[in-house]
Amino acid sequence: MAQRDWVVEHMKRYRETGGEDGHIWKGRDGNQSLPCLILTTTGRRSGKKFDTALIYGKDGDNYVIVASVGGAPKSPLWYENLAANPQVELQVKADKFAATARTASGEERARLWTMMAEIFPTYDAYHEKAKDHREIPVVVMERA
């Protein structure tokens, strides 16, 4: 699925400005202040690199993201890619680095879900929408 034009433009500005324009995303309504990073995964079939801008949180030195796709029945393609190859690249502001991704579970997942829902409360609505189909993955990324 092709990314929406506004997402492509957001990532372009983020990359061009070292995150000065785009690290804090105002949300689609312009009324939020959400921290964003750019995740680069490797396609599980193609081997190509794919970029995705995502809201993130911090847990100590680790970065945390949510594979919600708005509560859709299936996980996003970027999640399927990192599940197949957990070696990813991140850009947080101007800092670009390799990381290893893993899916949180149990108490860690519950704690991180609460943290991420505080950052972006809409995640709880996504959870309600998805609960009959899947548990939305919470991904922890550790700098390599």
- Averaged pLDDT in 10-residue chunks for the chain of 144 residues: 73 93 79 92 96 96 97 95 97 98 98 97 95 95 96
Q: Which helix (H) or strand (E) holds 92?
A: strand 87-92
Task: Report the pLDDT value the prediction gives residue 104, as an integer from 0 to 100.
Answer: 98
Task: Report the pLDDT value the prediction gives residue 27, as an integer from 0 to 100.
Answer: 67
Task: Report the pLDDT value the prediction gives residue 1, as an integer from 0 to 100.
Answer: 47
The answer to whether the CB of 136 falls within 8 A of the CB of 130 is yes
Please enumerate in sequence order all residues whose Cβ is within 8 A of that of 38, keeping only pairs 6 or more positions apart, or say none: 11, 14, 15, 51, 52, 53, 54, 90, 91
Task: Report the pLDDT value the prediction gives residue 25, as an integer from 0 to 100.
Answer: 85
Domain 5-143, CATH homologous superfamily name and number: Electron Transport, Fmn-binding Protein; Chain A (2.30.110.10)
- pTM value is 0.93
Task: Report the pLDDT value the prediction gives residue 2, as an integer from 0 to 100.
Answer: 55
Largest Cα–Cα distance in the chain?
Answer: 41
Task: Report the pLDDT value the prediction gives residue 137, as an integer from 0 to 100.
Answer: 98
